[in-house]
Chains A and B, each alone.
Chain A
């Protein structure tokens, strides 16, 4: 029993766990919008696009969040601009822009390696997070939570039906920028916990899991936020015993929870959909057709079970 409490005796572990949980909560909150808006790839893109900003901030002695936030928005702007002005498809535009930003970031860090730890950016370093960085994470998290808390209904309408939002005079352009800015900011915060490579998971998986568990948007936001926080806390805790990368622990745990939801979710899980399909096709009972017990009589039933559900 005592062995399970060991991580709580070390200040750096306690810090890592609660800071991870805060980051997980705010990423989870945003992931609800990301998964429903179809922005998963964009979330991945932004998390990579912030890297040159981190390098630049270190060179100039600015807070890393400011630089990262700036290049994140710059990348989003670049994608929007290219998409508007050329017929290149959106996924290709995103692919080109974020890999370019990431490459420039890696190049900058390798040219002037002194100030920045490449490994910390790519893989995260929550166990060694500096007090100043914790402050930045908290500012981002509180601001994001507050803005989403105030504006989640408008953002929901923007995701669900942007034309209706426009028709009733909501500032759709500003809502778009707000959501992008929130994504960039949380991507920066999440980089601390799991590193640039795994930020996308924090911004997608909890939302995808919650989506399987409920049919109400408000509940989905609450669930994805709780899942994000819980997995981040437990993942950081487990990393002490596994002696593995914290980011890897957190995201693996998120993936496991997703898998459980995928199979067991009450309505949208694999078991539940298989059950409703069986109920929808009651004539599949073997032997119900002709009353013969020859093996061939099960064939029509088997064939109709293979039909797609709708």
Chain B
């Protein structure tokens, strides 16, 4: 069956030009496989949302192709493989629809001409709503939910649709920390099921915590691949130019007497922290002890301690 074949997403030399004549994206190429959570990272105006739309098939590239498991995007859309979780600001929350209505919209592609729900559609809606913990609130009008609940409704819609490539546009904007963790846990489950989860974000710091792959964008695809390979100081400078602010501990008042006991606070976004050699530092040591000892070993080999 087609459902068991592994999913992949491939862009080849995609160039997008808007009717105004402006080229938002030039020669963008990438290849991603199922079973991954991948971040699309770039500043505003980097062509990130243009690439996003081209990958979803919302706009046709002037040149180049996008293929899903070797097929045209249009075919993947018809099969219901392409699921989309919109940004909170894009949704009209006062629209007269209930939570269950929204999730049912994920099923429209599979329904008959009149879009009359059958038992299978209702079962899919119930299953996905239960999975995100929103079944009890199914009768609520969507505007009567909290930020995190709203996000979960649209994730449930992607699940009910049976999406194999799920794109989330800025999923953590306006969502509290607890909900962010719950969503990340859910995304990890989707990855284990072999789906391809794409997250568009401008929040660098959250990426190493839950994305195993990254696509860096600035007018084209600068780099793509495993997060720790792509997130190098050189790549980040190319992607962000002067848009990043750095706090370099080496040049700061932080000194040996502080030991490693430093607390970093930010008002909104997670900070992205790089070690001395430019490698990624993670928020929690638990679960990454091997990485720490490996780096320690490597550092000792490279720089024998002074006598």
Contacts and interface: CB of A to CB of B under 8 A. Distances in A.
A163 B90 contact: yes
**Chain A binding surface SS class:** helix
Contacts of B231: none
A157 B19 contact: no
Contacts of A290: none
Contacts of B82: 167-168
Nearest to B91: A161
Contact of A163 (B19, B86, B108, B113): B86
Contacts of B101: 216-217
Nearest to A219: B96
A216 B114 contact: no
B219 interface: no
Nearest to A85: B19
B264 to A, nearest CB: 33
Contacts of A159: 95
B35 to A, nearest CB: 21
Given A216-B97, A217-B97, A160 B90 contact: no
Interface stretch (B72-80, B125-133, B194-202, B222-230): B72-80
A216 B96 contact: yes
B8 interface: no
Contacts of A215: 96-98, 141
Nearest to A157: B105
A4 interface: no
Interface in B97-127: 97-98, 101, 105-106, 108-109, 113-115
A154 B115 contact: yes
B147 interface: no
B19 A84 contact: yes
A169 to B, nearest CB: 4
A214 B90 CA distance: 22
Contact of B96 (A87, A150, A164, A220): A220
B220 interface: no
Contacts of B92: 36, 160
A233 interface: no
B164 interface: no
B108 to A, nearest CB: 6
B152 interface: no
Given A163-B58, A164-B86, A153 B108 contact: yes
A266 to B, nearest CB: 13
A219 B101 CA distance: 13
Given A168-B80, A214-B96, A157 B108 contact: yes
A156 B78 CA distance: 19
A112 interface: no
Contacts of B108: 153-154, 157, 168, 170
Interface residues of A, number: 26
Nearest to A210: B96
Given A214-B96, A216-B97, A216-B98, A164 B19 contact: no
Contacts of B74: 169
Given A168-B80, A168-B108, A169-B77, A160 B95 contact: yes
A150 B97 CA distance: 19
A150 B80 CA distance: 22
A168 B95 contact: no
B96 to A, nearest CB: 5
Of A166, A168, A219, which is in contact with the most chain B CB atoms at under 10 Å from its CB?
A: A168
A211 interface: yes
B97 to A, nearest CB: 6
Nearest to A159: B95
Contacts of B95: 36, 159-160, 217
Contacts of B114: 150, 153
Contacts of A211: 96
Interface in B142-172: 157, 161
A216 B57 CA distance: 30
B83 interface: yes
Contacts of B115: 153-154
A163 B97 contact: no
Contacts of A170: 108-109
Contacts of A87: 20
Contacts of B98: 215-216
10 contacts: A36-B95, A85-B19, A153-B108, A159-B95, A167-B56, A167-B58, A168-B78, A168-B80, A214-B96, A220-B96
The 3 closest A-B pairs by CB, nearest first: A168-B109, A169-B77, A153-B115
Interface of B: 19-20, 56-58, 74, 77-78, 80, 82-84, 86, 90-92, 95-98, 101, 105-106, 108-109, 113-115, 141, 157, 161
Interface of A: 36, 84-85, 87, 150, 153-154, 156-157, 159-161, 163-164, 166-170, 211, 214-217, 219-220
Given A167-B84, A169-B77, 6 more contacts: A150-B114, A160-B105, A166-B77, A167-B56, A168-B82, A168-B161
